Every structure is written in structure tokens, then in C-alpha cells.
Structure 1
Amino acid sequence: SADQGAPGGAADRSRSAVPSAPRVAAEHIIRTASLTVRVKDVPTALDEARTAAVNAGGYVGDETTRRDGRGHERTRVVLRVPVDAYEEVLADLEGTGTLIERSANAEDVTGQVVDVESRIRSQRASVARIRELMDRATRLSDVVTLEGELSSRQADLESLLAQQASLKDRTSLATITLTLSETPVRKAAEKGDDDPGFLDALAGGWGVFLTLLRWLTVALGAVLPFAVVAAVAVLGWRKLVGPRLPRRPRQP
């Protein structure tokens, strides 16, 4: 009829009553970042990083600290912070010292989240059907078969639930890996005039003299055994062989 085809008629009202397709409320993104910051004092900077993470509603994960041969500390800490405070915490961490290296990654896993949720719904429905069949089963063999099938499907459901929990944790909390290293302390005193003076020249000359004297002593120690042998040989020659040699007569 004309009423059904007219705007606002029955046909139009029926079309408006059809529910629209569900939409994903928000994108699911896994955010990770890695920072390397050089600081003057690692323990102080580490406390500031912990405070920033806790104040943002996150927590501190793994932490590793080591000290090199020169006594410089290096700490690696993993921070988990809510996604909403991710950028703010990154800015705070960069301000603790001199930024050496930064890398950030954002992985969209919305498709995985939707797929896992759909599979969970299907698996739960499958488990419910198996339980209904078990309630109506009368033969023992059917009950045993259905129990095995139920155990298998429940295991699959638990695996899907674990995947869902992991995705939720990784998308709701960003992961920041922070590496803090100490600034090497310059031991050389900075002075206004670096030109060498008389005392510097005197100290340098004395050092050269001591070095030369040490090398002469080493050379003398190396030659001394040969000199002793040569002296003994000459002395033996003069005592044993020298008197037997014919002597020239003296001329008048």
C-alpha cells in the first residue's frame, strides 16, 4: 500500500528497527618502548623512574643492576604503565638525564582480540551442548565418550581464555624497558692555563732520566755475564800462555 512505501510508513519503521552491526569500541594496540639514558647517579634516577610508574598506576617488573670494572653502575628495569599515561611517563623518563637511544613500537592486535572473543563464544556454546548431551545420555559408553569430548573442549576453552587475558594485559599496560648508565667522572682537573711550566718540564726530564737509567741497568745486567767470562779468559791467557811465547830481543 501507499502507507507502507511512504516515508514514516510501516516499511520504513521496520527498517529502522533492525539493529546495526556491532562495532569495536576501541582499537587494541600493544605499545612497547626502549630507552637508554645516561645519568649522573643511577640509584637516584631509578627511584624517580619507579615513582613515575607507580604514580601513573603501573608497577615495576624485572630489574637488573651491574657494575663495570671502573665502578660505573648500569641498571635495566622494565616498567608497566597504563596506556593512557604512556606518553607522559616516557617524557618523564627522558628528562632524568641525557637520552642516548629511544625506540618505540605500536602493534595493532584488534583482529586477534575479536577473533579470540568469537572463538571463546563458540567454544562455550560447544561445551554447553556437550553437557546437555551428557544429561540425556543413558548408556555408559555414551557417557564415557562425552566426558572425553567435554575435557578436550574445556581445555581448548581455557587456552583461549589465557590468550584473551594475555592480550588484555598487553593492550591495557604499555611496556617500557629503561636502561640507566652512569656518566663517567672526569678525573683530570680542568684549569684555565694548560701550558706546561718549569716544574712540568723538570718532572718530565726527571722521568726521562729514570727511564734511561733503568734501561742502562738492564743492559748492564745482560752484558755482565759475558764480560766476566771474557775477563777470566784474558787473565788465563796472560798467566798460562803469555810466559811461554818467545820474546823479541831488545835492540841496543
Structure 2
Amino acid sequence: MLFAASLVLTGCGAGASSDSAERADSKAGARADGAAADADRGAVDGSAAGADEEAADGSSGAGKPGARVPAPQHVIRTASLSVEVADVTKALATARRVTAGAGGRVENETTERVDDAYVTSQVVLRVPQERYDSVLAELAGTGKLIARKADAKDVTDQVVDVESRIATQRASVARVRALMQRAERLADVVTLEGELSRRQADLESLLAQQASLKDRTTLATITLELMERAKPSAEPKEGRPGFGDALSGGWNALVGAVAWIGIVLAALAPWLAVALVVFVVWRRLLRPRLAARAARRPAPVPVPRGEGDAAAGERNAAGVTRAAGPAEAPEK
């Protein structure tokens, strides 16, 4: 029985060894086909593609023969605007009012003050597709347009594919549920429950994709950035300086000079410290030693003035005698 159930799940018919098993399999196949047909009809009725096809068939039968209504397009529209305004708060209130009037909503907002000078704000808006162009034009007119970017992506094929897979998956889930109602053995019930859980999870994933596509194709996304104009700085008034200004300027100059002197002294402090150490070493160690060495050196003996002159006369006389001796020799 478990083997037969697995074959029915994969779409292949299987026969049993007995006539009663064959009759049971044929009845099960008929019930499964009926449940699949009901599920397919329910899926087609619930899907947008099936509804469009039925509407096209009905209109072709009532109107001109052979005429078909073209399938609707599914487009994802996104845009980003950068606008410079005089007051961000007022411009933001205007953007909210325009969005609410178009039937949209504010999805995200970030407002901050930069350097206490001006305010910037970034807001994400979701508006219906049919009001996309008008809302975009009104938002761009709130101030000076700095930048604008728009994008449109056609996802019609993806939407149709997801809807077709949902219809097929619903029919598959209906078949498994029909087999579970006829299952008699516990092993068959456990196998069918696991298969049903897997197919149900796939169906829920497809439904989530369909909901996401429907949301993005129904509502367009607009990212609006608002920034304030830079305010001009106040120019100082020209005029004669007063007594207070002169006093303040002199005091500031004095404080600046003292500060610079302190900076110079701080820079010279290491050099002054080394010079002080060298002076102390010279004064305490080197100078006393030099003085002691000079004291131990013998002083020269003084010569009397008269004795010095006599000795000099004797030296001179001896020199004259030695000089005249050779000159008198030829006379002899």
C-alpha cells in the first residue's frame, strides 16, 4: 500500500497483485483527479492571471470575435530626490501631506541637525502607482531640485510564473490531502504527512513571493532627501575701536607674550639644566683643583737691581775684550 501511495504521488499508476487492490487504486486515482481538478479551479479563480484570462474570454464572447484583452503589466517603480529647501520641517510636513493625500504612507524617516547650522532629513515614501508621477512632481517643487533618479523594472513574467507555480502547488497539496483521507496504514499516513508538510512549505514560500511582488508593483517607492540652504555668516560692523576694545587687545597681547615667554623657557629648560650642572661641577671640583696646583708651583727668585747691572757690565766687558783680541794681533 505504501508503494502504491508513493507511485500515485509521482504521477505514475501502479497495480496491485489482487483485483481488489486494482479497484481501490482506480477509485483512488479518480478521487485524486477530482480533488486536483477542484484545486486547480480554485487556484485559477484565486490568481490574478486566471481572472484576467476569464475576463478576456468573456469580453471576447460578448464583443468582437477573436479580440483579446492584453495582460496587465507589473512594474516596480523607484525614485530618489534631493531637494534644497529653506525650512526642512515645513518641507517634511508638505511631503507627508502630499503622500497621505495620494493614499500612500511614510515608511521610514531620518532627521538630524548638522553642526548646529542646518537640518537634513531623509524619508522613504510609498505611494500608489497611478499617483507616482504627480507625487514626484509635487515633491520636486518643494524647493530647489539638486538631484533626481527614477527607475522602472518590469516583472510581469516573474508575477505570472509565481502565480502559475502557486496554482500547481495548490493542486499538489489537494492531491496529497485526498490520499491522506483514503490511507489506512500508519506508515502510509506518516509518509503522506511528511510529503504534505514539504509541499505546504513550498506553497507558503510562493505565496510570500507573490505578496512581496504585489506590494512592490502596487506601491512605488520614493526616497526623498531634504537639506536646508547654507545661512550666510554675519559680517562684522566696521567702526573705530573703543577704550574697551583697546584694553582687551592690550590684555590679549600681554597674555600672548607671557604665553610665548613661557613656551620659550620651557623649550630652554633642558639646556639651562645641563648648563647649571656643568657650572656646579666646575665651581665645586675643577676650580679648587686648579687653584691648588697653582699654589704648589715654585716662585722665581728675585735678583737685586745693582747685582744685575754689574753682572751685565762684566758680560759686556768680556765681550768687548773677546772682540778686540783678534784685531790687535797683526800689530805685534
Instruction: State TM-score, norm by structure 2.
Output: 0.54
Confirm whether residue 154 of structure 1 aligns to residue 203 of structure 2: no
* Counterpart code for 1:82: P
Give 1:81's aligned residue.
127
Give 1:43's aligned residue.
89
How far apart are the structure 1 equivalents of 2:209 and 2:101?
28
Q: Choose the corresponding residue for 2:144, options 89, 98, 103.
A: 98
How far apart are the structure 2 equivalents of 1:22 and 1:125?
27
Give 1:250's aligned residue.
none
How far the C-alpha of 1:185 sits from its partner, in A, is 1.1
How far the C-alpha of 1:71 sits from its partner, in A, is 3.4
**Structure 2 residues without counterparts, runs of 5 or longer:** 1-59, 280-332
Give 2:212's aligned residue.
166
How far apart are the structure 2 equivalents of 1:98 and 1:143?
68
Within-5 A mapping of 1:1-252: 25-189=71-235, 199=240, 216-218=257-259, 222=264
Q: 2:117 is paired with a residue of what secondary structure? A: coil
Residues 77, 219 of structure 1: alpha-carbon distance in 2 compared, 3 angstrom cutoff: closer
Q: 2:93 is paired with a residue of what secondary structure? A: helix
* Counterpart code for 1:135: Q
Deviation track 1:206-231 (CA, whole Å, cap 9, x = no partner) reads 999888766655555547998xx9xx
How far the C-alpha of 1:20 sits from its partner, in A, is 6.9
Q: Which runs of 4+ in 1 moved over 4 A?
A: 19-24, 197-200, 205-221, 223-226
Give 1:248's aligned residue.
none
Deviation track 1:13-46 (CA, whole Å, cap 9, x = no partner) reads xxx99x9798652110000001111111111100
Q: How many residues align?
A: 207
Q: 1:169 is paired with a residue of what secondary structure? A: helix
Higher Cα radius of gyration:
2
Higher relative contact order (CA 8 A, sep 6+): 1
How far the C-alpha of 1:78 sits from its partner, in A, is 0.6
- Bigger helix fraction: 2
- Bigger strand fraction: 1
Residues 74, 27 of structure 1: alpha-carbon distance in 2 compared, 3 angstrom cutoff: same
Give 2:288's aligned residue.
none
How far apart are the structure 2 equivalents of 1:219 and 1:144?
91
Residues 219, 158 of structure 1: alpha-carbon distance in 2 compared, 3 angstrom cutoff: closer
* Counterpart code for 1:137: A
What percentage of residue pairs aligned between the two structures are identical?
56
How far the C-alpha of 1:65 sits from its partner, in A, is 1.0
| Cα root mean square deviation, aligned | 3.5
